[in-house]
């Protein structure tokens, strides 16, 4: 009945499993080396966690930590179980390094200064043409800044050098202010919030904002959706952030590429709409918060991304900060959604 798939898994050099009825029935040599020789007979919930075991989709992809190793798991429905393929996370970024990032940041700093000067000159001369050109240049500045910030985070994450400062913060307030900020620019998209999480939780608000903006940006840039549901809920040990859209979804043959840096959605038709680092950033932020990220998508139906964050992080002892750290500011909006905002968003009206 499942003999042919097992023959394929036996010959595969990639770590692969076969489950049935929620129990691991077969693991090839590579999978047994990763999960342990005793993995056969254990439940999916024991090995991969409660969130993964609860999914009913025909296919999905998840970022997981298994026995201290980060890996990407791809699930494909087979009869009453799944075929699961595990691959090691990427460990190197070609070309990108500190000197390159420093050079980009220096150029961006100069670009920002020039844009400010041009904006002042346009106001002084009351020159509408110069205003439009300045807004276009400012939009380019924020688009490049977003890519540099994402690339810098991924590089530091690979080195284990990410700045991570959790303290008590209202994540629900960040989600609400983000949705409200976006609503003014995207009236054609209904952005709904379901925030079933009250009070403060130890988290890094700057990194949470960066993760949230990358997830929402994917919906607005790539999904072509009309509705986004932003949900925040609690379990005894974790916080669950989910971002669900009703857009075009991801073709099943492309699902395995969604976690690949610089690859997914980067073709001739998508250039200028991001460099493919958004999910890498979101996964990295989830890991720093003691959690993981899972993506489920159905072509023509939409995509759901679920991120778990641990509720047991130690904070740095600061008191509750309910001011700017828990609000999605204008700069957060411009930097986080530069790929999809109209150029009018980068005019004096919003920058002043």
Asked if pLDDT for residue 15 goes beyond 80, the answer is yes
> What is the chain's mean pLDDT, rounded?
84
Asked if pLDDT for residue 321 goes beyond 80, the answer is no
Report pLDDT for 2. 43
Report pLDDT for 4. 55
- Angle, CA of 24, 28 and 32, to the nearest 5°: 75
User: What are the pLDDT digits (tens) for 164-210?
Assistant: 999 898 899 999 999 998 998 899 999 999 998 777 889 999 999 99
Q: How buried is 87 (Cβ within 10 angstroms: 0-12 exposed, 13-18 middle, 19+ buried)?
A: middle
| Phi/psi of residue 11, nearest 5 degrees | -85, -15
User: Could you say which DSSP state residue 285 is in?
Assistant: H
What is the DSSP code string of 171-218?
HHHHHHHHHHHHHTT-TTSEEEEEE---S-EEE-HHHHHHHHHHHHHH
Report pLDDT for 1. 40
Q: How far apart are the first and last CA of the chain?
A: 67
Taking a C-beta distance cutoff of 8 angstroms, is the pair 85, 14 a contact? Answer: yes
Q: Would you say how long the chain is, in residues?
A: 352
Report pLDDT for 51. 82
Asked if pLDDT for residue 8 goes beyond 90, the answer is no
Asked if pLDDT for residue 317 goes beyond 60, the answer is no
| Lookup result for tokens 């828990």 | 326
Within 13 A of 286's CA, how many CA atoms are on the CB side?
27
Cα gap 171→183, rounded to integer Å: 19
- Strand-pair category, 302-310 with 238-245: antiparallel
User: What are the pLDDT digits (tens) for 48-106?
Assistant: 888 888 888 888 999 888 877 788 899 988 878 898 989 877 655 666 788 888 899 99
User: Sign of dihedral through CA atoms 231, 326, 284, 102?
Assistant: positive
Cα gap 274→124, rounded to integer Å: 34
Q: Would you call 242 helix, strand, or coil by DSSP?
A: strand
Instruction: Copy the structure tokens of residue 341.
Output: 């905002």
Q: Which domains, and CATH codes, for the chain? A: 3-88 (3.30.450.20), 167-336 (3.30.565.10)
Within 13 A of 149's CA, how many CA atoms are on the CB side?
20
CA 264 to chain centre: 13
Rounded mean pLDDT, 344-351: 76
Taking a C-beta distance cutoff of 8 angstroms, is the pair 327, 311 a contact? Answer: no
Rounded mean pLDDT, 318-328: 60
User: What are the pLDDT digits (tens) for 238-291?
Assistant: 899 999 999 999 887 788 778 776 654 545 455 455 567 889 999 999 999 999
CA 316 to chain centre: 25
């Amino acid at each position: 009945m499942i003999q042919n798939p097992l023959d394929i898994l036996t010959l595969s050099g990639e770590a692969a499993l076969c489950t049935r009825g929620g129990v691991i029935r077969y693991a090839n040599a590579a999978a047994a080396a990763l999960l342990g020789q005793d993995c056969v007979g254990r439940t999916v919930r024991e090995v991969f966690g409660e969130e993964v075991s609860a999914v009913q989709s025909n296919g999905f992809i998840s970022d997981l930590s298994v026995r201290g190793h980060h890996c990407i798991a791809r699930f494909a429905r087979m009869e009453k179980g799944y075929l699961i393929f595990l691959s090691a996370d990427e460990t190197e970024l070609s070309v990108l390094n500190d000197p390159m990032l420093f050079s980009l940041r220096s150029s961006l700093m100069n670009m920002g200064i020039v844009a400010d000067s041009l904006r002042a000159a346009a106001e002084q001369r009351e020159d509408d043409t110069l205003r439009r050109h300045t807004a276009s240049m400012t939009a380019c500045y924020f688009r490049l800044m977003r890519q540099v910030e994402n690339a810098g985070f991924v590089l530091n994450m690979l080195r284990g050098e990410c700045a991570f400062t959790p303290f008590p913060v209202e994540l629900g307030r960040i989600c609400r202010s983000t949705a409200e900020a976006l609503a003014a620019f995207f009236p054609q998209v209904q952005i709904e919030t379901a925030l079933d999480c009250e009070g403060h939780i130890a988290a890094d608000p700057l990194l949470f904002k960066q993760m949230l903006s990358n997830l929402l940006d994917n919906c607005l840039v790539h999904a072509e959706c009309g509705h986004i549901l932003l949900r925040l809920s609690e379990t005894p040990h974790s916080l669950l952030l989910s971002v669900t859209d009703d857009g075009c979804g991801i073709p099943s043959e492309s699902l395995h590429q969604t976690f690949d840096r610089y690859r997914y959605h980067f073709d001739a038709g998508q250039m200028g709409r991001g460099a493919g680092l958004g999910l890498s950033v979101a996964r990295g932020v989830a890991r720093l918060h003691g959690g993981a990220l899972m993506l489920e998508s159905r072509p023509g139906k939409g995509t759901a991304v679920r991120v778990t964050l641990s509720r047991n992080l130690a904070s740095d002892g600061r008191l509750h900060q309910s001011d700017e750290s828990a609000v999605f500011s204008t700069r957060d909006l411009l930097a986080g959604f530069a790929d999809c905002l109209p150029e009018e968003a980068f005019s004096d009206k919003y920058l002043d």
